[in-house]
Structure 1
Amino acid sequence: MKKLAILMLFIVAAGIFAGCSASNEKQGAESTEKAILKIFHAGSLSNPLKDLGESFTEYAKAKGYNVEIQNEASGSVMAVRKVTDLGKKADIVAVADYTLIPQMLVPNYTDFYVLFAKNEIVIAYTDKSKYADEINSDNWYDILARDDVSFGFSDPNQDPCGYRSVMVTKLASLYYGKPIFETLIESNTNIYADGNHIFAPKDIQVGTDRIVVRPKESDLTGIIESGSIDYIFTYKSLAEQHGLKYVELPGKISLGDFSEEKYYKQVSITLGSTGKTIEAKPIVYGITVLKDAPNRELAIDYLKFLLGKDGKEIFKKNYQDFLNPPIAFGNVPEEIKGSVKVVSE
């Protein structure tokens, strides 16, 4: 009986101890604040933002946050229109063309933005692509014009890579003195030009099975990797992330040379989706935290992390070049002023 009593006391004590442990664990879990960060972003930022999110989640744990990051990729124009036209809520918007922020989000939806990364347009392909052993920086337009060759670009109305790709062909016409835009774009789609000004109707129509148009540039990578298409106009960073071969274009065409900004401005495009006219310019990405961000303080912390050493290393690993330094406009939050150059507009 004495042994039984001791055993019962042991069981009761163990139960009390287990209950205390469970209670402590519960209290510990409750002490960690749960938060969601919603980010609307350009498709070409998918890889670096995925890696950045994983690193930031670990960083946030040390500050007492259990963060769930919800990255939602689309063409940059569509990312902005989710806020302005569809009324969707997000904390951060990151776009492949920074000018979309001052044009469409300032002042109603945000009062500051940061220019933080750059890129350039290339012609990407694989070993399966027709004439892969022939194409180079001097003959790419002749290869794409061949009847048995297929190529693609993203929708200009939804994605900056799309309107940039189209403008690259018009710049190529000027640079080479040949009707490259007319041959590749105008004769195969309902996109047309008046001089150096291009018009992209709201609904892009393609008149041949040689051309593929998709909502965003990252939608094209799987198609070319499968061998269903020969060439795509895309960003250099995406080509390198996916291990694609690519043709680098001359600086006066690629939109990657800041010294050629004046040359690029010869060409512009009006988008049927927004009615906005956009000049060709060097490719610069922009990011902002929205005024009504559900988790604004945490979003600014995320932006500071992105602009810091860890963020820059993650972007470099993903072949995305950072501006040095990033440039900020507007009512710039104090928390990020040490990471940017603040410029008056």
Structure 2
Amino acid sequence: MNTAGDQVGCRMRRRSVLATTGTFAGLGFAGCLGSTANSVRVLAAGSLARTFEDHVSPAFREETGIEVRGEYYGANAVMRMVEDRTKHPDVVVSADATLLRDRLYGEFTDWDVAFATNSIGIGYAEESTFGQRLEDGEPWYEPARETDEGDLAIGDPNLDPLGYRAVQAFDLAATEYGLDGFRENMMTVVYEEPDEPQLMVGVESGSRAGAIVYRNMAVDHGVPFLEFPDEYNFADPELADHYATAEFTTDEEGYTAEGRPIVYNATVTDDADEPDAGHRLIQFLVDRPDLLEEAGLTVGSNVPTPNGDVPEAVDV
């Protein structure tokens, strides 16, 4: 808990804090950054559940003594929870950098740091008929459109970017291979999983043939992963214009997401209870690319990158 003196400085909004406390380098603290917070609340994309729980959180706790209290949902759902104030996180982490900026900038934050990238493909059950056909080298879209209803899962495209990226991948693959009606066909076959962290559970147990997931999710669960080609794996920044030819509009908010390279970003909300601990966590993500890559994410030359009015307390 902050002392009375801390509350005067640290609970002020960010610009006032920066005017009175100075900066810190790396994981060091200065001024009000010496607060004694022992936890930080994180609301993050569901695809990062194991990344945080198994990799980031234990290492951050060991380094700083601060516990990460994480909750994980589809990133669309995360933004909605922040917007309607059903959740009050210190740190928000998105699997779609543009989504966070579109939805939270102005009212909840005015900055973020992009810290990792990813790709999508199919995590599959090796012993399933679907998996065996992939192992035999068949183009994935042939067994995919012949699977029984519900055997192949995607995220709910109305709740998370992984879901709408799967739909966009269907569109781009249809164009790439001349597959008339492929998106429509696939949307009648796939199961839309509303709880993103659960996408791989059925595949891991063998009760589901496969799921369209991020690479790190397959790594987390130790299942085979067939990465989509660059033309629709959303991993190549040089293909941004190509990805943007596919889009998806969500049902409830009517938010239209163009296809775009996968970039994870994080911010500390303006009304965070523990902004200093939040800044420290984001600095930790920036400083530990090895930890993120161990978890199956990619930290290439285009990250980390700051966007907006990044506080001096985060050194990128």
The TM-score, its normalising length taken from structure 2, stands at: 0.83
Amino acid at match of 1:175: E
Residue in structure 2 matched with residue 182 of structure 1 by the alignment: 184
CA–CA separation in structure 2 for the residues paired with 1:254 and 1:80: 24
Residue in structure 2 matched with residue 199 of structure 1 by the alignment: none
- 2:60 is the alignment partner of 1:60: no
- 2:292 is the alignment partner of 1:328: no
Deviations 1:3-39 (A, max 9, x none): xxxxxxxxxxxxxxxxxxxxxxxxxxxxx93532100
Deviations 1:164-196 (A, max 9, x none): 0011000001111112212212xx1xxxxxxxx
Of 300, 305, 315, the residue aligned with 2:292 is 315
Deviation at 1:147, TM superposition (A): 4.9
Residue in structure 2 matched with residue 145 of structure 1 by the alignment: 145
- 2:135 is the alignment partner of 1:156: no
CA–CA separation in structure 1 for the residues paired with 2:147 and 2:233: 25
Deviation at 1:92, TM superposition (A): 0.2
- 2:1 is the alignment partner of 1:36: no
How many matched pairs? 278
* Cα 1:77/1:148, change in 2 over 3 Å: closer
- 2:66 is the alignment partner of 1:72: no
The TM-score, its normalising length taken from structure 1, stands at: 0.76
> What value does the CA root-mean-square deviation take over the aligned residues?
1.9
Aligned residue for 2:158, secondary structure, equals coil
Residue in structure 1 matched with residue 260 of structure 2 by the alignment: 281
Amino acid at match of 1:238: M
In the alignment, is the contact (CA less than 8 A) between 1:126 and 1:132 conserved in 2?
yes
Comparing 164-173 with 296-305, greater Cα deviation is found at 296-305
Larger RCO: 1 or 2 (CA < 8 Å, sep 6+):
2
Deviation at 1:117, TM superposition (A): 0.9
Residue in structure 2 matched with residue 27 of structure 1 by the alignment: none
In the alignment, is the contact (CA less than 8 A) between 1:41 and 1:72 conserved in 2?
yes
Deviations 1:201-256 (A, max 9, x none): xxxxxxxxx53221243211111112221111101111122111122211111111
Deviation at 1:107, TM superposition (A): 0.8
Residue in structure 1 matched with residue 281 of structure 2 by the alignment: 302
Amino acid at match of 2:292: F
CA–CA separation in structure 2 for the residues paired with 1:246 and 1:53: 25
In structure 2, stretches of 5+ residues that fail to align are 1-34
CA–CA separation in structure 2 for the residues paired with 1:46 and 1:231: 19
Q: How does 1:69-218 map to 2 (within 5 A)?
A: 69-135=68-134, 139-148=139-148, 150-179=151-180, 180-185=182-187, 188=188, 210-218=189-197
**Which is strand-richer, 1 or 2?**
1
CA–CA separation in structure 2 for the residues paired with 1:246 and 1:58: 31
In structure 1, stretches of 5+ residues that fail to align are 1-31, 62-66, 189-209, 340-345
Deviation at 1:138, TM superposition (A): 5.4
Amino acid at match of 2:291: I
Aligned residue for 1:282, secondary structure, equals coil
Residue in structure 1 matched with residue 30 of structure 2 by the alignment: none
Aligned residue for 1:335, secondary structure, equals coil
